[in-house]
Amino acid sequence: MSTWMVVEDEPDLYDTLLALFGIWSIDGVAFTNGTDAIKWIDDVDAGIAETNIPELAILDIRLPGVEGPEIGARLRKSPVLKNIAIVLVTAFHLSPADEQKAIEKAQADDLLYKPLPAPEAFRATLQKAIAKRQAPPPEEPAAPEAEQQPPVAQDAAKPTQEKEAPSDARSGNA
């Protein structure tokens, strides 16, 4: 069974998210403030939290105590939780610069505005974030090799062309 983390201070949304987790057969690790979430992360890192490791964290941006982007940043520093998907949520309109700042600070995979999408669209968005995190990283050596191969091929072709050009000139002069 999957486990998802949620940090949400709005009681109705908190209850709704946990109800959806139940319908979707997903265990929930839930907090209503950022301070408790950070303490739990510390406990997980210390090996004293008895819980399944979540594959996703849904973090409200504005929370009492520690805010969502800071929780995301702490998750990314955790040796145990650093690879979970992070989706930030907010009811406040953010400028594009503030959106980018929050996403970068949390190293979040997505940002959603409240009201959240319909349950199935919401779940699809969350699953996409999880899949992105769980996908093997792109093979980085392949890209540099691909970039290096064409110059090698071009370099190899140049001497052939240079050799052919003089021989064509010689045959034309003969």
Q: What is the dihedral of CA 118, 25, 37, 124, to 10 degrees?
A: -40
What's the CATH number where 116 sits? Answer: 3.40.50.2300
What pLDDT, on the 0 to 100 scale, is given for residue 140? 57
Same domain, 10 and 50: yes
- Band the pLDDT of 161: cuts 50, 70, 90: very low
Between residues 158 and 106, the one the model is more confident about: 106
Residue pair 34/71 in contact (Cβ under 8 Å)? The answer is: yes
Same domain, 116 and 162: no
| 6 exposure class (CB count in 10 Å sphere: 0-12, 13-18, 19+) | buried
**16-20, 33-37, 102-106, 170-174: the lowest-pLDDT one:** 170-174
Domain containing residue 111: 3-134
Look at the chain and report how many structural domains it folds into. Answer: 2
Same domain, 83 and 150: no
Same domain, 130 and 148: no
Interval 54-113: pLDDT, tens: 999 999 999 999 999 999 999 999 999 999 999 999 999 999 999 999 999 999 999 999
Same domain, 159 and 83: no
